[in-house]
């Protein structure tokens, strides 16, 4: 995936966006500009160093879910930029999977604790949340993780999908509280109802579209 993209918000000019891929799971993080500042979607390890050369001043961090690979730099981001963090639920070792690795004999996973400033729930279509002035619809799609949410930027035709939906794949469901049927049902009822042209920016791998996944995803055909 290219590390640069544009987002059109309403009738305004295109805003810049950057994709970072890093950490031990090759996790994607997305930073994009709005009229009121920069929003960062997820905080994989190394994203702080990635955005420094671009002079990005993060005003808000939004988390699609809190598995460790998506939040290892969350504390750094919040501390460095003095920005709030929005997510479905508060920080918890069960959500980050730290508690799972505590009982393993291999390398331990440690996430620096961070504070969630605002907990997000699923929105009604006519009542989106506003993040730095930008309207987002929020879809709660558990199954990969109980706190998995997707951020739909309707004006731009972009869905930040986290680990819910990938190109010709779906999120893993073999973690604690995973549920394959729940995940598939959520994708079909909430994501596949969007326009087929909607671009899905996933938590791992390259971008796709709703239409491509409806036609080609072997887990969902």
Strand partners, 62: 41, 86
Q: Which of 106, 71, 99 is nearest to 85 (CA)?
A: 71
Q: Categorize the per-residue pLDDT at 126 as very low, low, confident or very high, splitting at 50, 70 and 90.
A: confident
Predicted confidence (pLDDT) per residue in 48-106, tens digit:
999 989 999 999 999 999 999 999 999 999 999 999 999 999 999 999 999 887 665 55
For position 100, what pLDDT does the model report?
84
Sign of CA dihedral 65, 71, 77, 78: positive
For position 1, what pLDDT does the model report?
41
Per-residue pLDDT, averaged over 106-127, amounts to: 90
Q: Please, how many CA atoms are within 13 Å of residue 162, restricted to the half-sphere of its CB?
A: 34
Strand partners, 40: 31, 61
For position 188, what pLDDT does the model report?
98
Average pLDDT in the chain: 93
Considering only 4-18, 24-38, 198-212, which range has the smallest mean pLDDT? 4-18
CATH number of 4-216: 3.60.15.10
């Amino acid at each position: 995936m290219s590390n640069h993209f544009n987002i059109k918000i309403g009738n305004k000019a295109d805003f810049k966006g950057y994709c970072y891929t890093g950490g031990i799971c090759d996790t994607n993080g997305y930073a994009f500009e709005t009229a009121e500042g920069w929003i960062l979607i997820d905080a994989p390890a190394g994203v702080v160093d990635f955005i420094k050369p671009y002079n990005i001043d993060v005003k808000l961090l939004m988390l699609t879910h809190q598995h460790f690979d998506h939040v290892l730099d969350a504390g750094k981001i919040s501390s460095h930029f003095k920005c709030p963090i929005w997510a479905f639920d508060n920080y918890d070792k069960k959500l980050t999977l730290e508690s799972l690795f505590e009982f393993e004999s291999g390398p331990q996973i440690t996430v620096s604790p961070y504070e969630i400033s605002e907990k997000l729930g699923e929105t009604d279509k006519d009542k989106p949340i506003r993040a730095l002035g930008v309207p987002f619809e929020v879809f709660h799609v558990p199954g990969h993780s109980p706190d998995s949410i997707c951020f739909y930027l309707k004006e731009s035709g972009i869905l930040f999908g986290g680990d819910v939906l990938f190109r010709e794949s779906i999120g893993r469901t073999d973690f604690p509280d995973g549920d394959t049927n729940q995940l598939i049902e959520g994708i079909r009822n909430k994501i596949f109802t969007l326009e087929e042209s909607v671009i899905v920016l996933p938590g791992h791998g390259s971008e796709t579209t709703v239409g491509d996944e409806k036609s080609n995803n072997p887990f969902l055909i």
